[in-house]
Amino acid sequence: MSTGEGTRAVRAGLPEARKHEPALPGPAFAAHYHLPGEPTGPYAYGRDSNPTWTLLEQAIGELEAPGETGAETVVFASGMAAVSAVLLSQVGAGDAVVLPDDGYQALPLVRERLEEYGVEVRTAPTRGESQLSVLDGAKLLWIETPSNPGLDVCDVRRLADAAHARGALVAVDNTLATPLGQRPLALGADFAVASATKGLTGHGDLLLGYVVCRDTALAARVRQWRKVVGAIPGPMEAWLAHRSLATLQLRSDRQCANALTLARALADRAEVTGLRYPGLPDDPSHTIASRQMRRFGSVVSFELPGRDHAERFLAETRLVDDATSFGSVRSSAERRGRWGGDAVAEGFIRFSAGAEDPDDLVADVLRALDAAAGRDT
């Protein structure tokens, strides 16, 4: 039966209905399983497999790769566990990897590790498909679109075709978009990788990551990596994540709409510069984003005139938590430059729109902007 994405989200990964059983079985807490005789069958030891993961993997697979037979999902303890699993399980000494130079802030740490292992790492910006120019001889191309925190977008289909023509594998970090925003496998990628800590689970209360692989052979290496490194999610986190998927469409619709409303309101402010949201028709990312994305995400970025101004704005908001991360039902924002590492101005704000009433959220942000500007003069 073919269904819409909202229906898929509420039913994803549910086992067949059985009398007197819950719709979504609770977390299976098990280090080991009863296993008399020959060790066959799916569940033997808790680092290899867990029935709560199995259902969650099924569910994420239905959202990331609906109808793609052969695609397999592997869940991890965090987004970085998933990112590292793909890179470190697929490449080795002598291989070349292409990474974005404007991606997630922990990618440079992965780069250091790869280089210590004898992997050549090349980087290029996300914007304008710049990675095309460094693909020759690469084993794997890593794409992050929209990029975090700059919100640049690249053409996944075009990059994937070019990479495949040169024999390279393609992985897309789908954290910001979530599978309801874009589906990397349908755009030609071999791996969709994400931090489920963010919008996928959306409550800011757990860490989790996943890798969806185009085929069984790729998945086997990723699964083997999880077993070797032991980067496994707890059953409670896996169950909470699965429970959260039921509201993914509701949350995404509200949060993406709030992000657009907020971006429009920010566009009218004189003190706001460098406003970016891929859903704004005049955003540099909009043309490609509207071709490959079905929602433009919950993150808006902009600059205020300097560090103090940005700090005052954050201190004045009442509905927006000054916190890192994004994708939660509660709005959050931060002055990104406080971490160092990202190439951003001192007054750069990464704003994550939550699921509040849009009028309340916009009013709170405009009031905080007024207050922050008032004390400037």
When asked if residue 350 is in the footprint of ligand PLP (CB under 6 A), the reply is no
The tokens of 252 are what? 């995404």
Residue number of the CB atom closest to ligand PLP: 79
Strands (E), the chain: 72-76, 96-100, 120-124, 140-144, 169-173, 191-195, 209-213, 273-276, 299-303, 321-322, 332-335, 348-352
Q: How far apart are CA 153 and CA 109, in angstroms?
A: 23
When asked if residue 83 is in the footprint of ligand PLP (CB under 6 A), the reply is yes
The tokens of 279 are what? 């859903």
Instruction: Give least dist CB 252 to ligand PLP, A.
Output: 16
Residue with tokens 């780069």: 111
When asked if residue 368 is in the footprint of ligand PLP (CB under 6 A), the reply is no
Residue 320 one-letter amino acid: V
Among 155, 173, 190, 356, binds ligand PLP (CB under 6 A): 173
The interface region with ligand PLP, picked from 92-100, 160-168, 169-177, 349-357 by CB under 6 A, is: 169-177
Q: Which is nearer to ligand PLP, 261 or 325 (CB)?
A: 325
Closest CA to 261 of 346, 167, 364: 364
When asked if residue 148 is in the footprint of ligand PLP (CB under 6 A), the reply is yes
Cross-strand partners of 212: 73, 192
When asked if residue 207 is in the footprint of ligand PLP (CB under 6 A), the reply is yes
The interface region with ligand PLP, picked from 61-69, 108-116, 195-203, 245-253 by CB under 6 A, is: 195-203
When asked if residue 351 is in the footprint of ligand PLP (CB under 6 A), the reply is no
CA distances from 161 to 144, 155, 187 (A): 16, 10, 9
Among 13, 79, 146, 179, binds ligand PLP (CB under 6 A): 79
When asked if residue 175 is in the footprint of ligand PLP (CB under 6 A), the reply is yes
Q: How far apart are CA 53 and CA 325, in angstroms?
A: 24
The conformation of residue 131, written as its DSSP 8-state character, comes to G
Number of chain positions touching ligand PLP (CB under 6 A): 15
Instruction: Give least dist CB 123 to ligand PLP, A.
Output: 16
When asked if residue 233 is in the footprint of ligand PLP (CB under 6 A), the reply is no
CA distances from 193 to 172, 207, 315, 351 (A): 6, 14, 34, 22
* Of residues 96-125, those binding ligand PLP (CB under 6 A): 104
When asked if residue 198 is in the footprint of ligand PLP (CB under 6 A), the reply is yes
Among 80, 124, 153, 304, binds ligand PLP (CB under 6 A): 80
Which residues of this chain interact with ligand PLP, rule CB under 6 A?
78-80, 83, 104, 144, 148, 173, 175-176, 195, 197-198, 207, 209
